[in-house]
Amino acid sequence: FDLLGHCDLIKKRNTDHKYFNPQEPWYQRLTSHLLKTAKKQKVRLEVNTGGIARGAINETYPSMEMIRECAELGLSLTLSSDAHQSTHLDFYFAQATDLLIQAGYRTLDTLRHGIWQAAPIK
């Protein structure tokens, strides 16, 4: 596959760190390994705003911390709303692109005519 989505979906059911603290070393090691493997396999990650649109969580999948590591690794990203209704098609996109720029991104991958292409963040 060439796109990894919902890479930290596990946090959706972990409100208030009920089951684990994402700052714990074991979790950090696993997420770092995941991102390094994605880089090695040339897999881009989806930045997904759907959980925010549906009120399930208050941040994107993946988290900002993971997005920063993606930038350090040079991983390609794409932006998606995972919309379940038309009003959510571009939900939180302006804020998400601001976060991506803060992390160091200047382009996002887009699928055009079946080919992934880097496009400038607007």
**43: amino acid identity, one letter:** V
- Residue-wise pLDDT tens digits, 41-100: 999 999 999 999 999 999 999 999 999 999 999 999 999 999 888 999 999 999 999 999
| Sign of the CA dihedral running 3, 62, 32, 30 | negative
State pTM to two decimals: 0.93
Query: What whole-number distance in Å separates Cα of residue 60 and Cα of residue 106?
Result: 18
Q: How many residues are recorded in the chain? A: 122
Instruction: Name the strand (E) or helix (H) holding 50.
Output: helix 50-53
pLDDT band at 23 (very low <50, low <70, confident <90, very high): very high
The mean pLDDT of the chain is 95
The whole-number pLDDT of residue 54 equals 93
Q: At what angle are helices 64-73 and 25-40 packed, to 10 degrees?
A: 40
The whole-number pLDDT of residue 122 equals 79
Query: What whole-number distance in Å separates Cα of residue 21 and Cα of residue 28?
Result: 10
What is the average per-residue pLDDT within 100-121?
96
Q: 120 has which bridge partners? A: 107
